[in-house]
Amino acid sequence: MNKPIFIFPITFIAIITTYLFVFGEVETLEIIKGEYLSILALIIVTSILFIFKFKLKDYEIIEFIPTNNSSLKSVILFFLIFEVIDYYSEEGFIGMIKLWFLYWIMGLIALILMQTLNYYKNYKLLQKIKK
C-alpha cells in the first residue's frame, strides 16, 4: 500500500463499528461530538490543502518532504505501546477504546498536514521563480 490515505476509510469503519457494538449509537455520537475541535482542525487543514492544490493545479509538484517508509510492524508496535499506556491511564478497556477516534483524527491531520506543507513549499518556490 503506497498511499496511507487509503487505510483511513477502512480504519474509520472499523472504529465506528466497534464503538456502535460496545457503546451504542448515542454514546458513539457523544464521543465524536467530543472531538469537535480536532474535527474543526482537520477541516481547516484540509481546506488549506485544497487551496494550495487549486493554486498549483497546472504545475508539477516537487516532493520536498520524504516519504515515510516505516514498516507496518513498527506502526502496530507504536500503536500497541499507546494502547497499553491508555489501558492503565484511562482505567481499563472502555477508556482505552474511547481514544481510538482521537488517534484516527490526529493521524489524518498529520498526513494531510505533511501534504499541505509540501504544497506550501512548492507554492513558495513558484513565487520565487515568478519574480
**Cell, residue 17:** 463499528
Grid cell 478497556 is found at 93
- DSSP one-letter string for 2-34: --GGGHHHHHHHHHHHHHHHHT-HHHHHHHHHH
pTM: 0.81
- pLDDT confidence of 123, banded at 50, 70, 90? very high
- More confidently predicted of 49 and 1: 49
Average pLDDT in the chain:
86
Interhelix angle 25-34/7-22, nearest 10 degrees? 130
pLDDT digits (tens, 9 = 90+) for 14-68: 999 999 999 999 999 999 999 999 999 999 999 999 999 999 998 888 888 776 6
Quick one: the chain helix, strand, coil %, rounded to 5?
Answer: 80, 0, 20
The domain segmentation of the chain, as residue ranges, is 6-130
